[in-house]
Structure 1
Amino acid sequence: MYSGVKMNKMLNRFHMWFPGGIFLGSLISKFMTDFGFTWETQIWIIMAPTVIYAFLFFGKTFPEPQEEGASSLKRKL
């Protein structure tokens, strides 16, 4: 999808926010436990973003790799 500097920038953004999402999710889970939510209810609440992503990406195709990028990983004999 991306190449060069743009790819590095997007990967860095993902890796920067990934631990933040785990931390935020753990805080949300703690507050739900403190308010007496059962574990089943917590799982259903956490599944909401999954269902939203499934709806957004359903029917989309993943971009095809560029030929020069795909062949650069081949082992030279």
Structure 2
Amino acid sequence: MFYGAMVWDPWLIVAQIVCLQCLYYLGLGLFMALLVGTRVPRLTLLYLFDFATLTPRTTTGWCAIASFLLAAIAGYVLDSCFM
């Protein structure tokens, strides 16, 4: 089905969700590599999933928080441009 057709296509919806999630996590990985990866000796998944590293008490925590916010903003911009 083409985009904009007047039928409900579940495969198109699933494909869009998967594509947007992939773009979000690629953007998050890029921002994490740029902002957090330059500050720590080894970038691990700890900076994505551990709440203790997402604290505003350290500069690395602020960089991790900024990465999440920038990825969310980039996802919003991509979503609003292509949808």
The TM-score, its normalising length taken from structure 2, stands at 0.38
Larger-gyration structure (1/2): 1
The TM-score, its normalising length taken from structure 1, stands at 0.40
